[in-house]
Structure 1
Amino acid sequence: MPTMDASNSFVLVVLTLHSVMNGCSSMDLPAQLSHRRLLKDSNLAAPSTNVPASAAAPVPSTGSGSFPASSSQGQNDTNEIASSSSSKSDDVSRSMKWLYMIVLPALGLLLLTGLACFLLPCRKSAVATIGPWKTGLSGQLQKAFLTGVPELRRSELERACEDFSNIVASYPHYTVYKGTLSSGVEIAVVSTMITSSKEWSEHSEICFRKKIGTLSRINHKNFINLLGFCEEEEPFTRMMVLEYAPNGTLYENLHAEDFEHIDWRGRMRIIMGLAYCIQHMHELNPPVVHPDLQSSSILLSEDNAAKIADMSVWHDVISEGQLPINGDLVVHHEQVSAGLARNVYNFGVVLLEIISGKIPYPEHERSLVSLALGCINGDRSIASLIDPTMDSLKEDELQIICEVIQACIQSDPRNRPSMREITARLREAIAISPVAATPRLSPLWWAELEVLSTVEAG
């Protein structure tokens, strides 16, 4: 016997419900369903309404029409009616039991099945129309934007960086390459200068892996985020794949002649981006302390938003450092507290450098902090150190910034404010939200948007 489809099953339940409610025997249901199928599948036209109806059979009268012909006959009719009413009441009671116990659950199950059958083709269709984000590589770099820090192959990075010929910067301990994916997303590939596993100690490996874990936790738009890493032995490779910021360091933009001048509003956006990011790092659990916060470790995006970078690992892997215990470096609470206070101090120095345009530690002159403390001790405002080329500055913003600088560079770390307090104070005067302080033209942002749209559609 052929299996009934979902539509016929639904009809069967409806007919069952109808029959139960009208006292109809369930034995009539197959006949009713067959009748429905015949009507649905028949090619015959409906009966004509012009066919005359058969004559009604005459019904003999048993009385005058006003009174019953016999009182005994009326009594019998009354008894039959009462008996019929009682029987119908029992039938309705039994019907309601069937309704609650069988019919309604079956009807609900069929409705859910029909809904699932309707939605599944729609879902498959939606997934099929939106393809995954393609990088042109093997797929590992694509996963970097989804899973955080996957391990990548050297061959992939070699192709992206044009056989490692596209060198952005070279330092004693590491080299920075620029890579470009087929989608146009730019990446920075940072590699250690160590070329042999014999020179890479257990201490070096622990530092490298610990830094990967630390950087993967930050995940802030004003930070140079880690996208992946590479570990291979032949040839020896230790690399990190990071976001790429094309506009150089903050130090270069403030002091190099071949860089464009940053106006007051642009500098305020940089200040707020730094404040939001450092506060985010300090409020992670456990907190993340930047090991060397200064203008040379702050990069600028294409639209001159601040992007904090941390390249300290490449120096740490060749230094003696602290001895590892159970695979982890020993970090005491006092050291973390001191690191947080040091970040606050360095942030004050960066603020001073941004508003003054002066080098913080010149070779043959007093340091910038020394000049600021001289102003404070001489009852002069730090505003006297303002960059003379600065125009369109706002006095109320400058005043708040000078107050924050003075609080940050206090000699006693215990008297320095927290980054939360600093950020709240700055935002009172500088009306730049976290969203406005983040890069608007970041290639990573567009890549993440593509990935998110694919994931949400799936």
Structure 2
Amino acid sequence: MNSLNTLYLSNNSFDLADVPSWFPALQALTTLMMEHTQLQGQVPATFFELPNLQTVVLKGNRLNGTLEIGPSFSNQLKTIDLQYNSITGFNDRGRTYKFDIILVDNPVCTARETTSTYCELPPSNSSPSYLTPPSKTCPCSSGQISSPSCGCAYPYTGTLKFRALLFSDFGNLTRYKELEQSLGQFFLSHQLPVDSVSLSYPKRASFEYRLLLDLAVFPSGQKSFNRTGISMIASVFSNQTFKPPKELFGPYVFDGDEYEHFSDEPANSKKSSIAIKIGATAGASVLFLLLVLVGIYAYRQKKRAERATKESNPFAHWDSKKSSGSIPQLKGARCFSFEELKKYTNNFSEANDIGSGGYGKVYRGTLPSGELIAIKRAQQRSMQGGLEFKTEIELLSRVHHKNVVSLLGFCFERGEQMLIYEYVPNGSLSDSLSGKSGIRLDWTRRLKITVGAARGLAYLHELANPPIIHRDIKSTNILLDERLNAKVADFGLSKPMGDSEKGHVTTQVKGTMGYLDPEYYMTQQLTEKSDVYSFGVLMLEIVTARKPIERGKYIVREVRLAMDKTKSLYNLQEILDASIGLAATPKGLEMFVDLAMSCVEESGANRPTMSEVVKEIENIMQLAGMNPNAESASGSATYEEATKGGSLHPYSDDSFAYSGVFPASKIEPQ
């Protein structure tokens, strides 16, 4: 909390409570926004002494008593806005303050007539005025605009919308100059066709965004951008490749305007006129031959139309009869051409081969923006079924969660089946549990990886539309990013639940032995609780570092037989992974085992939901002295220390462990 500098909690349904006593301990705080949050009592004068404090907005609460700012308030204060509260007095100690104090609609202002400035709203035109200064005045014509470097051109325009700011002094124009310089340096270093940028008209905003800034990007060496240039610029904003100065600006989006002045537009009217004349002459000649060549002409036109359709429609090669379904319905993913992926992987070079297995190979690729991607390429002799390929594309393109691997696109041409994912550098959880990756997983890291995977699966069950049952939860399908955050992967066997299928779906049994829900295996009725069972097996694998079926022994049965709740660590010392750190009993380990065993109950009705699993893991983390909402999964050892000596590629053979169809028999895994 010592490094917290902005706190936005407005419009939350908190219980009625006094102003938190820990506010004065936030030494780095610059901005506090808590409108309509049920705060009551008095704001302590010591709060205003925080050295970096600039803006305090506590409108619409139940604050009362007399406002005391104290003699030692921060010299950076700009605004104290306490409108719509129950404050009855203000002790200004005879001072004249250089910052705004707003007590409008408090009893101190409404109970008696007053001319005090704090009972009036500041002027509405207080937003700062900023416009990138040109080097000199340069008149332009034909609708062109002068750039800061005095060149007339058609710029690409739009609005930068910032969700959060690390400053509240909107009148300090150096903030905008720094952003402008950062944009210019970024475009130059990435060799984009940009001459200069201009920022203008910053506007305060509310609700979703805090600051709006008009942006104009001017082309280099020409009067307008071509289509490739506009695409490259839009891409660096949409992919967040450009990072604004992190000490000033938080997350943002760019809302680009439609561009109408492409330099690679079709030929101008003069050329068009010449083309018409030539076409007319050619038409007269064709007319003479039309009767003779009509059959050939019609045939060629038909073939040309088919070829044009295939080139313009990225799904033209999708054969709905052979591929078990219609064209995939995509949201957020794109179709890559084979030539693009060939270029990004340096012709699928051996140096970019980062894994292989029964499905095929995985290659590392680099997009023009510099972003790394993972390309999963099926072997010709072992391609995934058309239905599974289509399912994975549709499902992954529709889900967006930090604990679910992101699908960027796919390729389905030249007889290829390729899926393009975000690059997840630390491979699978299985690699780390087995020691192959060189990453040491202590108890805290295992808890954070578990809660991340649980959150991803809970999202699929309860927030995805329609809900999704994964059907293949296992350690090789949990990937770890550069900060060891867990991401649920591999949706080839997943099953969406339609409105007409609430409760369960009767389907052919698919999954991986050892993780497979016995109830689903016996009844062929698939529910979300089938994933819960697999997750319970995964939890046991996490604390034992053993595969579900090892030397003919089934981990669920082994834990159940050895478990004795009257003894320390439930008498599981021989089964638990010693690298967790069993010398000092890990806090919450027994609760973790209890939760895992509740997930693997024989009857699905007795298993918890994934949202209940998430809550229980968060409780265990708090018991272990951890913050369940921490971003990374690093534990007591440093990440650098833990990864030393790791030589395995992140996409190893084990990440392609067999998942498939099982016969409808009555055998339970032993």
Matched, 1:419 2:610: yes
Q: Note the alpha carbon deviations across 1:55-96, whole angstroms, 9 max, x for none.
A: xxxxxxxxxxxxxxxxxxxxxxxxxxxxxxxxxxxxxxxxxx
Change (3 A) 1:231 1:137: farther
Give matches, 1:125-140, under 5 Å.
125=198, 126-129=214-217
Change (3 A) 1:401 1:231: same
Cα deviation for residue 391 of structure 1 reads 2.1
Is the 1:222–1:308 contact (alpha carbons within 8 Å) kept by the matching residues of 2?
A: yes
Cα deviation for residue 374 of structure 1 reads 0.6
The residue aligned with 2:419 is 240
SS of alignment partner, residue 457 of structure 2: helix
Is the 2:451–2:614 contact (alpha carbons within 8 Å) kept by the matching residues of 1?
A: yes
Is the 1:249–1:297 contact (alpha carbons within 8 Å) kept by the matching residues of 2?
A: yes
Aligned counterparts of 1:369 and 1:400: Cα–Cα separation in 2? 16
Change (3 A) 1:219 1:130: farther
Matched, 1:343 2:523: no
SS of alignment partner, residue 436 of structure 1: coil
Change (3 A) 1:138 1:292: same
Corresponding residue pairs, total = 303
The residue aligned with 2:357 is 171
Correspondent of 1:399 among 590, 597, 604: 590
The residue aligned with 2:458 is 279
Matched, 1:161 2:161: no
Aligned counterparts of 1:130 and 1:333: Cα–Cα separation in 2? 56
Cα deviation for residue 331 of structure 1 reads 6.8
- Return the structure number with greater strand share: 2
Change (3 A) 1:130 1:417: farther
C-alpha RMSD of matched pairs (Å):
4.2
Aligned counterparts of 1:434 and 1:295: Cα–Cα separation in 2? 22
Cα deviation for residue 148 of structure 1 reads 1.4
The residue aligned with 2:394 is 213
SS of alignment partner, residue 237 of structure 1: coil
SS of alignment partner, residue 401 of structure 1: helix
TM-score (norm 2): 0.40
Matched, 1:361 2:554: no
Is the 1:140–1:150 contact (alpha carbons within 8 Å) kept by the matching residues of 2?
A: no
Gaps of 5+ in 2: 1-130, 132-144, 146-154, 159-197, 199-213, 220-224, 241-330, 507-524, 640-670
Aligned counterparts of 1:159 and 1:356: Cα–Cα separation in 2? 43
Cα deviation for residue 379 of structure 1 reads 6.4
Aligned counterparts of 1:433 and 1:239: Cα–Cα separation in 2? 36
Aligned counterparts of 1:400 and 1:338: Cα–Cα separation in 2? 28
Change (3 A) 1:236 1:138: farther
Matched, 1:264 2:443: yes
SS of alignment partner, residue 187 of structure 1: strand
Please tell me the residue identity of whatever aligns with 1:213. Answer: E
The residue aligned with 1:304 is 484
Cα deviation for residue 382 of structure 1 reads 6.7
Aligned counterparts of 1:382 and 1:331: Cα–Cα separation in 2? 42
Change (3 A) 1:218 1:433: farther
The residue aligned with 1:54 is none
Cα deviation for residue 227 of structure 1 reads 0.8
Aligned counterparts of 1:302 and 1:265: Cα–Cα separation in 2? 17
Matched, 1:183 2:388: no
Cα deviation for residue 152 of structure 1 reads 1.6
Aligned counterparts of 2:409 and 2:555: Cα–Cα separation in 1? 38
SS of alignment partner, residue 276 of structure 1: helix
Change (3 A) 1:279 1:261: same
Change (3 A) 1:137 1:273: farther
Change (3 A) 1:145 1:258: closer
TM-score (norm 1): 0.57
Change (3 A) 1:129 1:170: same
SS of alignment partner, residue 417 of structure 2: strand
The residue aligned with 2:262 is none
Aligned counterparts of 1:279 and 1:311: Cα–Cα separation in 2? 15
Change (3 A) 1:351 1:379: same
Greater mean alpha carbon deviation, residues 136-145 or residues 350-359? 136-145
Cα deviation for residue 338 of structure 1 reads 2.8
Is the 1:272–1:437 contact (alpha carbons within 8 Å) kept by the matching residues of 2?
A: no
Q: Note the alpha carbon deviations across 1:152-174, whole angstroms, 9 max, x for none.
A: 22211111111112222222233
Please tell me the residue identity of whatever aligns with 2:554. Answer: S
Change (3 A) 1:241 1:140: farther
SS of alignment partner, residue 419 of structure 2: strand
Please tell me the residue identity of whatever aligns with 1:193. Answer: Q
Please tell me the residue identity of whatever aligns with 1:254. Answer: L
The residue aligned with 1:231 is 412
Change (3 A) 1:253 1:142: same
Cα deviation for residue 429 of structure 1 reads 2.2
SS of alignment partner, residue 349 of structure 1: helix
Is the 1:273–1:305 contact (alpha carbons within 8 Å) kept by the matching residues of 2?
A: yes
Is the 2:432–2:440 contact (alpha carbons within 8 Å) kept by the matching residues of 1?
A: yes
Q: Note the alpha carbon deviations across 1:279-322, whole angstroms, 9 max, x for none.
A: 11111232111121111111111122212211536xx9xxxxx9
Is the 1:397–1:430 contact (alpha carbons within 8 Å) kept by the matching residues of 2?
A: yes
Correspondent of 2:562 among 360, 375, 379: 375
The residue aligned with 1:288 is 468
Cα deviation for residue 394 of structure 1 reads 5.9
Higher relative contact order (CA 8 A, sep 6+): 1
Please tell me the residue identity of whatever aligns with 1:429. Answer: I
The residue aligned with 1:6 is none
Aligned counterparts of 1:238 and 1:303: Cα–Cα separation in 2? 30
Cα deviation for residue 194 of structure 1 reads 2.8
Correspondent of 2:432 among 231, 235, 253: 253
Q: Note the alpha carbon deviations across 1:167-213, whole angstroms, 9 max, x for none.
A: 22222233211112243311011122237xxx98xx94444333211
Correspondent of 2:628 among 433, 438, 452: 433
Cα deviation for residue 390 of structure 1 reads 2.1
Q: Note the alpha carbon deviations across 1:24-45, whole angstroms, 9 max, x for none.
A: xxxxxxxxxxxxxxxxxxxxxx
Is the 1:224–1:309 contact (alpha carbons within 8 Å) kept by the matching residues of 2?
A: yes
Is the 2:426–2:437 contact (alpha carbons within 8 Å) kept by the matching residues of 1?
A: no
Change (3 A) 1:382 1:302: farther
Please tell me the residue identity of whatever aligns with 2:215. Answer: V
Matched, 1:334 2:521: no
Name the % identity. Answer: 28
Aligned counterparts of 1:250 and 1:256: Cα–Cα separation in 2? 10
Aligned counterparts of 1:270 and 1:136: Cα–Cα separation in 2? 41
Is the 2:424–2:479 contact (alpha carbons within 8 Å) kept by the matching residues of 1?
A: yes
Aligned counterparts of 2:332 and 2:233: Cα–Cα separation in 1? 11
Give the greater-gyration-radius structure (CA): 1
Is the 1:161–1:179 contact (alpha carbons within 8 Å) kept by the matching residues of 2?
A: yes
Greater mean alpha carbon deviation, residues 236-245 or residues 392-401? 392-401
- Return the structure number with greater helix share: 1
Aligned counterparts of 1:285 and 1:258: Cα–Cα separation in 2? 35
Q: Note the alpha carbon deviations across 1:194-239, whole angstroms, 9 max, x for none.
A: 37xxx98xx944443332111112211112111111222xx22222
Aligned counterparts of 1:347 and 1:333: Cα–Cα separation in 2? 19
